[in-house]
Amino acid sequence: MNFKKILIAVDASENSMRAVRYVGEIVGSSPGFEVTLLHVAVSPDRDLFPDEQVWKAKKQEMQANMELFFRKSRTALIEFGVPSQNIHERYIQSGGGSLSHQILGVQESDGFGTIVIGRRGVSKEEEFLFGSVSNKIVHYAKGCTVWVVE
Amino acid sequence: METVAELLKRLRPNLSVGQYGKIVTDTSEFMEIGYGDVIRVGGLHYLVLRDETERSFGIEDPKYWIKRCVLLETGDRRILKLVFHESFPLRLGKLTVKCYRSPEKESRVLELVRGDWRFMQGITARDDHANPVRVLEVIRGKRIDEFVAGLEVDHRTYFFEIFPGLFEKFMGACEAIAFLHEHGEKHGDIRRDHLRVESGTERFRWIDFDYTYDFYENPFGLDLFGLGSILTFLVGMDIYHLGELERLGFSDVISSLTSEDFSLLYPNRVVNLKKIFPYIPDGLNKILLHFSQGAELGYETVAELLRDMESAKAQIVKGGNLS
């Protein structure tokens, strides 16, 4: 695995931006690094919305937020010295199920040597009930390095 | 259009009704539907008797969107759940979870479990406004906790005489929840009052499927925690709060308890029940500890829980160690 091929899993949160900045600081203008921002988009559950219109509006809002996040992240990475042509964005629609496993699927299929993910720090009870993407990535990742940025 | 009086005369001439209301074909304004009204959906007529109520902290809480009815065509009792979208914070011990009420989700689950007695049965009929009205059959019986509370035996007798049978039935109830999860659905509101013990058959049957949440990484975590809570209740024959142990005669246990012996979400609730009842087999107690503050690892799936329950079953023998 090429550890210089970095996959940052992002979700438009502050934690994700911290992960992006951390990568920017570490990588800077060092040669040979490729940085890919990956967002696995989970459509809001239709069951949570009283009608189709509100649901569609929410989906569009989420996509727009993510596009804005990608732009901000690219700018931040460039400011740290990462060449623009070495920054890539991938927006994939969740196929259902665990996000961590989908992120690990991309890492494995595309040969990323490093996964980076932000974490807000969840309590034990929160992890039990809601799950934790970063903890699962740490637990299940194989053949790559994982950076968890708090 | 036929009036309610005419309808009753034609379909249920012997049914005595205090007041004749209106015939409703659009149920959107459910607050305006009350006793004596008739809801017509799916080509059938349901006479409204009253709003459903839920007892919570000793107070009757009316559920205006749930109507207790008589199906005029047959005379059978039915429960009609009308469309009510809401979201609200649900407090679970230390955590607060945003919960949504989804009629569509409940309709889907009803369809999925049709003919499966482990779940309440019902159909969805659309009214004139396309609202999915859930028409539910009434399950005659008690909530699981009321059923257990009605057993007038001490814990030891309960545990060795009655619990083995309940445990096996509860495994069946867990398998039912695993079935939902395998089909991508969650129950959403697993609590003691949503597991009924049917009169006559004493079968365990799940009710009420309209709650949902926006958890994605661990969508079934709340269901699993609910199963753990019910199992803890069944093993203990009750819930044991720290503050009540002395009154219940378990003063000697208090000094041995550590934070790890308590529920992950409810810090005053003892889940390490072996400290209270030492005859609880280790295998069974270890399952309970998965839901404790001391747990290193929780269950991720109901299948994992069921595997441990299957292993523990051999140690839970009816009549064993009663002396």
pLDDT tens series, chain B, 323 aa: 789 999 999 999 899 899 999 999 999 999 999 999 999 999 999 999 999 998 766 778 899 999 999 999 999 999 999 999 999 998 888 889 899 999 999 999 999 999 999 999 999 999 999 999 999 999 999 999 999 999 999 999 999 999 999 999 999 999 999 999 999 999 999 999 999 999 999 999 999 999 998 888 888 999 999 999 999 999 999 999 999 999 999 999 999 999 999 999 999 999 999 999 999 999 999 999 999 999 988 898 999 999 999 999 999 877 766 55
CA distance B97 to chain A (A): 10
State whether B264 and A42 contact (CB < 8 Å). Answer: no
What's residue B55's pLDDT?
74
Residue corresponding to tokens 């994992």: B304
Give me the sign of the Cα torsion angle B313, B319, B322, B323. negative
Backbone phi, then psi, for B194, in 5-degree steps?
A: -105, 10
Judged by phi (left if over 0) then psi (alpha if -120 to 50, else beta), residue B296 lies in: alpha
What's residue B321's pLDDT?
60
What's residue B6's pLDDT?
93
CA distance B104 to B262: 37
- Close Cβ partners of B253 (under 8 Å, ≥ 6 residues apart): B245, B275, B276
The answer to whether A126 contacts chain B (CB < 8 Å) is: yes
Substitution target in A47, A123, A132 with the highest count of B β-carbons within 10 Å is A47
Amino acid A15 reads N
Backbone phi, then psi, for B82, in 5-degree steps?
A: -95, 165
Is residue A1 over pLDDT 90?
A: no
State whether A45 and B212 contact (CB < 8 Å). Answer: yes
Report how far apart, in Å, the C-alpha atoms of B172 and of each of B109, B167, B175, B178 are: 18, 9, 5, 10
Residues of A in contact with B214 (CB under 8 A): 44-45, 48
Q: Could you count the other beta carbons within 10 Å of the beta carbon of residue B279?
A: 12
Q: At what angle do helices B163-182 and B221-236 cross, to 10 degrees?
A: 170
State whether A128 and B221 contact (CB < 8 Å). Answer: yes
> Which CATH code for domain B141-313?
1.10.510.10
Q: What is the pLDDT of residues A97-147, one digit of tens each?
A: 889 999 999 999 999 999 999 998 788 888 888 888 999 999 999 999 999
Domain residue spans in chain B? 4-84+119-137, 141-313
Q: Name the strand (E) or helix (H) holding B299.
A: none
What's residue B318's pLDDT?
72
Candidate from A125, A131, A136 with C-beta closest to B215: A131
Domain residue spans in chain A? 37-86
Q: Are B188 and B207 in contact (CB under 8 A)?
A: no
What's residue B161's pLDDT?
96
Residue in B313, B271, B275, B273 with CA at minimum distance from that of residue B295: B271
CA distance A108 to A118: 20
The answer to whether A98 contacts chain B (CB < 8 Å) is: yes
Amino acid B164 reads P
Residue predicted with more confidence, B219 or A21: A21
User: What would the DSSP string read from start to end of B15-67?
Assistant: ---S----EES--S-GGG--TT-EEEETTEEEEEEEEEEEEETTEEEEEEEEE
What's residue B58's pLDDT?
72
- Close Cβ partners of A105 (under 8 Å, ≥ 6 residues apart): none
* HEC assignment per residue over A119-133: CCCCCHHHHHHHCCH
Rg of chain B in Å (alpha carbons): 22
